[in-house]
Each structure stands twice: as structure tokens, then as C-alpha cells.
């Protein structure tokens, strides 16, 4: 039998399905993103209660700029509003907030909002919340490689690992994608090499504690081998191979 996995230390989530959630209710897509912020607030709490140490969420991808202009500006506005409303509570709850992604393409006001949120929670020692914003896994690998070249360091796995935008946390144990699609969509391409993947049909605004618990229960059943054999993981000698 597989040894049960404990609660994942680092959970990463592709919060997909906001648009469909809104469309089914004859609402504008941005209403789905607003409902998504409410789900994210609950999810942060629930993860902290369950002993998760790091939560990383995909809020705006490098590719999301190609969405209709009103949706892009709606998401930017929502970020500002969410920061103003949520940071005081995150501060009280001991959550440390960090934004991960390219800042160069963002407006001054969005950039300042991100920096203020990070500074306000910098001394917190509870759950670490990484919000990937204007982020793409390929961007991250490329920026890390550029940084190493500029510093004259060799491109090794260890050096790249240290130069990546999520170098302050261990790799995710569990990557959840809601909304029924089964793909990675340029999220944590490097860091998810050995993550357990879990796909839920639930649209992100409906992803409640019961849905989160189902994901954790599935994770608990997985055997993580990291390239080893099952026998090695179980601490038994591997069966001798025929000559
Ligand atoms: C994907 O759903 C979701 C996004 C692109 C945005 C995710 C953002 C949030 C949950 C809110 C948090 C955001 C901020 C700004 C703090 P989709 O729009 O692709 O849904 P669909 O697949 O149903 O169209």
C-alpha cells in the first residue's frame, strides 16, 4: 500500500472557469472574476487552516493581455480593489503576500499597488501567498537565464533554480486546475516537474472547502516516487532484475 501523503506543503492553483461561471448567469465575465476573488479569500483561509504553508495562484498570465480590452482593464481594476480590501485582513491573518511575474508591462498604479501589498505583509510569518500576475513559466525560465548570463554564471539546474521567480519557496507538491480543462497553460513549467496534478470540473467561483478537501484526499492517495521505484520509496530492496 502507498504510504499516505501528508497535507501538501505547497499548493498551486490555476483558478479557471470564472468566465463560464459568469456567462451561465448572464453576467459580464468580470463578474466571474469578482466571484473568483471571493473564492480565493476563502481558499487562503482554508489552506491555512489545513496546514498548507505556501499557496501559489495564477491570477493573470502573460497571454491574458490578448483578451478583450474591457476584460483586461476589469482585471487590473479588480486587482487594485482586491488589494485595498484584502490586505488589511491578510495582515491580521499573518499571510505574507508576494506577486510573481513581470512588472515592466504593468501600469505605475498597478505596480505600486503590488509593492504596497508586499511591503505591508513583509513581516508576516504565516501562510505564504504568491499571486502570479503577468506571469508565464516560459517568461520565468527566460528571465532566469538572462540574469545568469548577465552575472556571468553558468546555466546549471541549481543556478536556474535560484534565479527563478519562485526561488523563495520549495516546488509545489500539488497543482490544482479547476474549470474542467486538463493542461498547464504556461504555469510553473519548471517548478511543477514532480508536482502531483489534480483537475477538477468545478468552476473556480464554486470551488469550496468540499472541493478542496477532495483535491487533498486525491493527493493523499498518490505515491510520489521522484524517479525512484515503488520499492525504493517504500524503503524495501528493489527486486533483483533478471540478468
Ligand atoms: C481564468 O478563468 C481566470 C483568470 C484569467 C483570472 C483569475 C483571477 C481571479 C480568480 C481573481 C483574482 C484576480 C485578481 C486580479 C486578484 P477564465 O476567465 O479563463 O474562465 P473561462 O475559462 O470560464 O473563460
Distance, CA 64 to ligand 1 centroid (Å)? 9
CATH top-level class of 10-218: alpha beta
Enumerate the domain spans of the chain.
10-218
Mean pLDDT of 79-101: 97
Distance, CA 178 to ligand 1 centroid (Å)? 11
Identify the pLDDT of residue 236. Answer: 64
CA distances from 219 to 2, 184, 186 (A): 12, 17, 22
Residue identifier of the C-alpha nearest atom 8 of ligand 1: 59
Identify the pLDDT of residue 5. Answer: 75
CB atoms within 10 A of CB 38: 11
Identify the pLDDT of residue 234. Answer: 86
Q: How confident is the model at residue 121 (pLDDT cuts 50, 70, 90)?
A: very high
Mean pLDDT of 11-31: 98
Residues identified as active-site: 16, 64
Amino acid at each position: 500500500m502507498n504510504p499516505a501523503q501528508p497535507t501538501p506543503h505547497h499548493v498551486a492553483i490555476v483558478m479557471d472557469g470564472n468566465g463560464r461561471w459568469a456567462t451561465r448567469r448572464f453576467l459580464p465575465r468580470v463578474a466571474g472574476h469578482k466571484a473568483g476573488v471571493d473564492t480565493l479569500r476563502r481558499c487562503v483561509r482554508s489552506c491555512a487552516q489545513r496546514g498548507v504553508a505556501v499557496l501559489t495562484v495564477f491570477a493573470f498570465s502573460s497571454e491574458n493581455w490578448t483578451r478583450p480590452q474591457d476584460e483586461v482593464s476589469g482585471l487590473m481594476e479588480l486587482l487594485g480593489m482586491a488589494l485595498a480590501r484584502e490586505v488589511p485582513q491578510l495582515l491580521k491573518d499573518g499571510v505574507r503576500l508576494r506577486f510573481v511575474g513581470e512588472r515592466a508591462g504593468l501600469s505605475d498604479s498597478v505596480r505600486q499597488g503590488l509593492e504596497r501589498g508586499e511591503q505591508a505583509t513583509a513581516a508576516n510569518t504565516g501562510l505564504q501567498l504568491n499571486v502570479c500576475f503577468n506571469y508565464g513559466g516560459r517568461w520565468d525560465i527566460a528571465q532566469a537565464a538572462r540574469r545568469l548570463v548577465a552575472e556571468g554564471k553558468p546555466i546549471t539546474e541549481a543556478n536556474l533554480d535560484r534565479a527563478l521567480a519562485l526561488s523563495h519557496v520549495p516546488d509545489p507538491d500539488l497543482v490544482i486546475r479547476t474549470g474542467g480543462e486538463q493542461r498547464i497553460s504556461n504555469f510553473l513549467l519548471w517548478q511543477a516537474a514532480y508536482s502531483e496534478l489534480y483537475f477538477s470540473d468545478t468552476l473556480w467561483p464554486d470551488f469550496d472547502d468540499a472541493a478542496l478537501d477532495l483535491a487533498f484526499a486525491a493527493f493523499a492517495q498518490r505515491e510520489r516516487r521522484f524517479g525512484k521505484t515503488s520499492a525504493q520509496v517504500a524503503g524495501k530492496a528493489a527486486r533483483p532484475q533478471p540478468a
